[in-house]
Structure 1
Amino acid sequence: MYVIDASASSAIYVSSGICGAATTGGTAGTITILKHEYVGSACMLQFYFIPNNTVTGTTIGVGPFSSIVGEDVIVLGAQVEYAPFPTSFIVTGNGSVTRGPDRFLIPTSTWFNNTTSSWNAYFDGGRESTQGYYGRVISFAGSGTFLSTDCGNTTKIGTWNGTSNVCKDTGIDYYTMSGGAAAAYDEGMMTRSITGRGLPPVDGSYTGSYSTTGNIGIGGNSGSATNMLNGHIQKLKYYPARVLDAQLQLLTQ
């Protein structure tokens, strides 16, 4: 199997026997396939991919689309992975290499302040409300999120502790562009603040505690080995204290 980036336009050479079977799957946007057949056994497929704002990516297949085996050619755009991925991006011979899903976990035993903290991130995210999963940016203790796009649509960010959700409308579509977000909390006030890029913060009471945090998950669910990587982190900062609301706003500008 071959994997190439199809975020804008890409081309790949395949055998002419499978060139005519080029297909597209899903409704990820506008996909154009140009086929250039050559004398002999070579064929070039050229892909142009324009995503829409309702899914996180697209897959273009050549050959049997339902099974990624044999001479299939799979072109991945802004694709996410689920569970261990049965192939390797590095050519290792005729066989495949099993590698784990892309998960980034940071142990918290020596540095994390579980009673008072602040987070600041710039990231790209997916449309979670139509896909059935969280657009997690920074997560903890499995389902909890310090920052996520799980507030009903992609123009809102939120924090969630497994019981209550606090949302903030940002006006930023995290599928099509990067966004900045910050969150802060402290145990004494039992409140947290979130904000969008340059927008005033919103406070919200929460129940429970962050004290059970064992790992911080960056871009995925920290408690599941099969959770999708659906937050694409560009920059992340952590502060071991609660930042004032006015400072939260400045962090996202």
Structure 2
Amino acid sequence: MGLFNFRKKGVEKEGYQGDLGKTAALAALFEVAGTTRDATWEKKFLADAAEASFACGDPQIIQGPDGFPYFQLQIPVPNQPFQCYVVQHMVSDFILDRGIGVVINAQKGQPDWVFTYGDLVNFAIKGEFYTASPAVQLPQQEVIQQQEEVLVGQPSEEFLPMPTRGIIRQFLEQQGIRDPKIALMSRQYGEEVLQELVTNLTPEKVGRQLSEALQTPMRWFLPRHYSMVAMDENGSFNDHFEPL
């Protein structure tokens, strides 16, 4: 997949002020062995991760084993000055625009935590890294019934921010896809209403191998609770698709 072409090799931001108390709490959490980190540990981590003060690694941005770029954050060395980085400020300042994730303490070999770009998009939208998925069991192959009421439109800024649309478009163009299109579909599943991001990246358009290969990386860019389907852009949704 490769790294995106950033204008700068690194990212520098002056003036961040984080919560050193939360940094200390995270440092204590990271002393807990990985095999014993349970739901309570995770809840405590997520409560402090956004506002804690971090130092950055060298280099600032690395390529993860999944092929995507990650900004390195580390717990600061005690009693040593450091340039402060705070996740909640980083998200709005440059992460949304640059399409990068965040890895914490990658220098350990086994990072203490990894946020995908989609996790950070979710934070930008909802103020939380993860949102519970609707209690809906989706079929492997979806079929819209003739009498089914389906609402179709375009994703709002609150669902898919414009910088994120641009980052996904850039990624798809790197795969040789020049005219990606999207829509947003709302469907009733029992008592639940589910919004699904619809793309035109069908096997018929981009080839079965590429269509299947894009499923996992596409989800890296999106909040984890989002549902995504591919449909024929020349079908019944023709009037609703718009360029990504």
The normalised TM-score by structure 2 is 0.32
Q: Which has the higher strand share?
A: 1
TM value normalised by structure 1: 0.31
Greater share of helix residues, 1 or 2?
Answer: 2
Question: Relative contact order: is structure 1 or structure 2 higher (C-alpha 8 Å, sep ≥ 6)?
Answer: 1
